[in-house]
Chain A
Amino acid sequence: MDVLYFAWVRERIGIPKERVDSSAATVMDLVNELRAREDRYAAAFEDVSALRVAIDQELADFDAPLDGVREVAFFPPMTGG
């Protein structure tokens, strides 16, 4: 699947987008896989209560399943308007 990062999540991880081969069952499982990779991921995902997630471009919860998902995005709370 494609994993996208925005705002300070993108800055901490250092890339806007990457292809991730994962068998993670849920968003939280994916977060834990990413955390274990490198310090920059651990730093970005230190406090998931400060993050939001979208699955295939729709807001979702961290316990949402990833079966069949093409795109997951992580970002801070939105500041539009």
Chain B
Amino acid sequence: MRIAVQTAPFDLGDEAARFASAQSHSGAVVTFTGVVRDVSGGLQAMEIEHYPGMTERALTDIAQQAMDRWSLEDALVIHRHGTLTVGEQIMMVATAARHRKDAFEAAEFLMDYLKSRAPFWKREVTGDGEAWVAARDEDEDALKRW
């Protein structure tokens, strides 16, 4: 299991390939990547603040829950903070399991919990100014299925 919180970009292909090749008992590897999108046009930057210390603890706790619940062979979470621009990768998760159903479900679980339980806050910078991204009720509701 690896948790990385960093400002630097990551290479999705390298990370996915390294993760997949490190597994010996898993027939399924799922990866998910979140990318900065320009919802309404005019996004100049996405600033991501986090809570150093708690972030690593929360991500480790969430990943460990996924490892235990789906008997994963391995899990990876990379989450960036700092200033990002449209098209940049914000974060990725990867899961390795014997079968794909567990790998997919565990990846969805990780994503649902990362959204609402990992201490990151996004702020959008546009020509009109800056605005904090509000948490969505759907994201909180998504936790109920687990």
User: Is chain B's interface secondary structure helix, strand, loop, or mixed overall?
Assistant: mixed
Residues of A within 8 Å of B123, CB to CB, are 7
Q: Is B133 an interface residue (CB 8 A)?
A: yes
Residues of B within 8 Å of A4, CB to CB, are 51
Q: Are B117 and A54 in contact (CB under 8 A)?
A: no
Q: Are A80 and B49 in contact (CB under 8 A)?
A: no
Q: Are A79 and B122 in contact (CB under 8 A)?
A: yes
Q: Is B30 an interface residue (CB 8 A)?
A: no
- Interface range on chain A: under 10, 10 to 19, 20 to 34, or 35 or more? 10 to 19
Q: Is B13 an interface residue (CB 8 A)?
A: no
Which residue, B121, B123, B135, B140, has most C-beta atoms of chain A within 10 A? Answer: B121
Residues of A within 8 Å of B91, CB to CB, are 80-81
List which B1-56 residues lie within 8 A (CB) of chain A.
34, 49, 51, 53-54
Q: Are A76 and B57 in contact (CB under 8 A)?
A: no
Q: Are B117 and A76 in contact (CB under 8 A)?
A: no
Binding site for A on B (CB under 8 A): 34, 49, 51, 53-54, 57-58, 79, 90-91, 111, 114-123, 132-135, 140
